[in-house]
Structure 1
Amino acid sequence: MLQKQTRHYTPAEYLALEDEADHKSEYFEGEIFAMAGGSTNHNIIAGNVYALLNQAVADEPCIAFTSDVKILVKENGLYTYPDAMVVCGQLEYAEGRTDTVTNPILIVEVLSKSTRGYDRDKKFELYRALESLQDYILIDQERVYIEYYHKLEDGRWILTLFNRSDTDLTLTTVKARLPISRIYHKVDWSTV
């Protein structure tokens, strides 16, 4: 689970601390939450997804990012690091920052035991405030199981589940097909 600090911070204080920190933290409503380190399987999956997304958008006016770039949800003040994301069109940065974007169209989170509830519920609720967001993908690292949320034109979100490695995750927003077998490529199932 994210480790909660007790003091309230301003966004400027958080960003100053984050610039000097040796670990990543999330910020929301004045609180800073240390982000737990990921397992090797978490990192393998996140790397695979980033590579697939990066290849898929190579000839498009889009850019894929790893978890080193933050998102600011201006509508509610959340600062966080998704496992991967895609921005299309002009990059929109948080004021005075080149490490924080505000307009992802696709966000990917790799689930862990400690964050799966948060990623599915509260974090997704906070992310949905992003007008630009069209796709939200949750990937389980302990089994082949992917939740793909896509926003329809009327603002409703639809969910498609994937639990077989011989299928493809077809993305609507960036017009890409991600083979599930490649998302989980080289995952060590003996460690789960």
Structure 2
Amino acid sequence: MISTIKRRYSLDEYRAIEEKAEGRSEYRDGEIVPVPEGTLKHSRISGNILTYFTSVFRDTQFEPINSDLRLWIPEHRRGVYPDVMIFDGEPQLNAERSNEVLNPILIVEVLSPSTADYDRQSKFRMYRSIPSFSEYLLVEQDEPFVERYSKQAEGWLLSDFNSLEVFISLDSVAIALSMAEIYRGVVFE
């Protein structure tokens, strides 16, 4: 029987590796986990959402950011790359690192078959440890379907949307996002 030793990385080692890497990886408390590459649908959907938010929030206190910026979750010692994040005011940097932030109010994840369960369960649980975080969108890429979680006094409220004709009310940023806008240019089979 052959045993394998799983190497654990310090946060500094991870950051050094990530700065030179061609692909992205998440940091999971000592473990480095590659992030799967996206699909054309995934890119269109996340691009549509970011473009819409960028246009709507121009000249406001809200700032949308794409997946190039790492979100650091201190309580869980995790570094992740959400598809889209929105900040109310200036993003708070993690110890003056220009590539890690701490304080999104809204996070969007476009679901992939390989990451959907992780995004819905473990990642959502970790996101909830972020004090500023108050709204979460999970967007399917193979059919028009969005799950919206909003933070309430008594817990998190789930609403789902499955029609291109409806709008999703986003309480954290006081706008409505059209399902048709999310899926603009996406062809379903």
The normalised TM-score by structure 2 is: 0.94
Partner in structure 2 of residue 144 of structure 1: 144
Distance 2:144 2:127 in 1: 24
Residue 169 in structure 1 maps to residue 168 in structure 2 = yes
Q: Which amino acid counterpart does residue 12 of structure 1 have in structure 2?
A: D
| Secondary structure at 1:54 match in 2 | helix
Partner in structure 2 of residue 34 of structure 1: 34
Partner in structure 1 of residue 186 of structure 2: 187
Shift of 1:188: 2.4
| Secondary structure at 1:75 match in 2 | helix
| Secondary structure at 1:45 match in 2 | helix
Moved segments of 4+, more than 2 Å:
none
| Secondary structure at 1:18 match in 2 | helix
Partner in structure 2 of residue 105 of structure 1: 105
Contact 1:41/1:141, CA 8 A, preserved across alignment: yes
What CA deviation, in whole Å up to 9, does each residue of 1:43-70 have, x standing for no partner? Answer: 0000001111112221321210011011
Partner in structure 2 of residue 156 of structure 1: 155
Contact 2:63/2:90, CA 8 A, preserved across alignment: no
Shift of 1:29: 1.4
Distance 1:121 1:181 in 2: 27
Partner in structure 1 of residue 66 of structure 2: 66
Ranges in structure 1 where 5+ consecutive residues have no aligned partner: none
The normalised TM-score by structure 1 is: 0.93
Residue 85 in structure 1 maps to residue 85 in structure 2 = yes
The count of residues paired between Structure 1 and Structure 2 equals: 185
Shift of 1:74: 1.4
Q: Give the fraction of aligned pairs with identical amino acids, expressed as a percent.
A: 35
Distance 2:44 2:182 in 1: 9
Distance 1:59 1:96 in 2: 25
Q: Which amino acid counterpart does residue 163 of structure 1 have in structure 2?
A: N
What CA deviation, in whole Å up to 9, does each residue of 1:146-174 have, x standing for no partner? Answer: 0000001x251101100000001110011
Distance 1:111 1:7 in 2: 29
Ranges in structure 2 where 5+ consecutive residues have no aligned partner: none
What CA deviation, in whole Å up to 9, does each residue of 1:114-168 have, x standing for no partner? Answer: 000000000101111001101110000010110000001x251101100000001
Superposition RMSD on alpha carbons, in Å?
1.3
Distance 1:96 1:30 in 2: 21
| Secondary structure at 2:75 match in 1 | coil
What CA deviation, in whole Å up to 9, does each residue of 1:88-112 have, x standing for no partner? Answer: 1232101141111100000000001
Contact 1:57/1:174, CA 8 A, preserved across alignment: no
Q: Which amino acid counterpart does residue 22 of structure 1 have in structure 2?
A: E
